[in-house]
Amino acid sequence: MTQAIRPLDTCLPELLRSGQRLRGVFNGLASPAIVEMCAFAGFDFLVIDNEHGPASFESTEHMLRAARASGLPALVRCLEHDIARTLDIGAGGLQIPMVNTPEHAAALVQKVKYPLAAGAAGLSGQRGSAFSSRAAGYGAFGGPDHTRRSNEGIALVVMIETPEAVANAAAIAAVDGVDAVFIGPNDLAHAMGHENRWNDAPVQAAIEQTLRAVAGAGKCPGILALSPADEEKYAAWGARYFATVTTGIIMKAFKEAAQGGRAQLDY
């Protein structure tokens, strides 16, 4: 009998600790086909964007299936009240927006980690246990082994998007159970009074301060990087976890095609 592939992909924490440069993409389109295309294009990871995207839990579950089937590690950016259900449908990682303090980061760790047996090694949390979920193979892979795999293998990425969070970046990154810290430059720029102009000097200074603080705390720093030049600049400040956006890529291609710069495509 062929060994079944477990629904839960647990490779993300190790990837984030690897020290290598990772390139991923935010996807706010509720489409498993887009997820597969991101995998086939060669991205290192995908962030299903349920903070700003329209996907239902059912659509998100199908996108996680597509990611798992095509070998693409997938996180879900979700709001805090959706953490439990997002984990139960099989997210291999969560990316949580607007984390301003280490206390908030520590509370999120508690929501991601299952309680452990008395005396067991590792972080123990308060996540509700239900082994009938997709993450546990509907019971096929439940029990203590699923608890251990989940606690060790689900990544938690917290987002810094305000001046308060910038000031607390080192302490947030130092929280045990936080695997990476990602800067949301658009929200940070707005919070600093610069609208969407995140290339303004004060915002860039805050980004540099944050990336260096996270790297200094020994965690993986992340940032939106929409061009090779952005990536190289932020990498020099310590960033290793870079993301672009599917809709931006698609709209750029559509505009080029609409304006006559049609590329030859293989169908």
Q: For residue range 126-180, list pLDDT tens digits in order.
A: 999 999 999 999 999 999 999 999 999 999 999 999 999 999 999 999 999 999 9
Q: Which of 52, 62, 104, 146 is catalytic?
A: 52
As a whole number, mean pLDDT of residues 231-251 equals 97
Q: Which of 183, 169, 177, 174 is nearest to 108 (CA)?
A: 177
Q: How far apart are CA 215 and CA 144, in angstroms?
A: 33
CATH 3.20.20.60 fits 12-156+227-258, yes or no: yes
Task: Please report which confidence band the pLDDT of residue 259 belongs to, taking 50, 70 and 90 as the band edges.
Answer: confident
- Res 257: pLDDT: 87
Q: Is 146 considered catalytic here? A: no
- Report whether 189 contacts 197 (CB < 8 A): yes
For the stretch 197-224, pLDDT in tens is: 999 999 999 999 999 999 999 999 999 9
79 pLDDT above the threshold of 80 = yes
Residue ranges per domain, the chain?
12-156+227-258
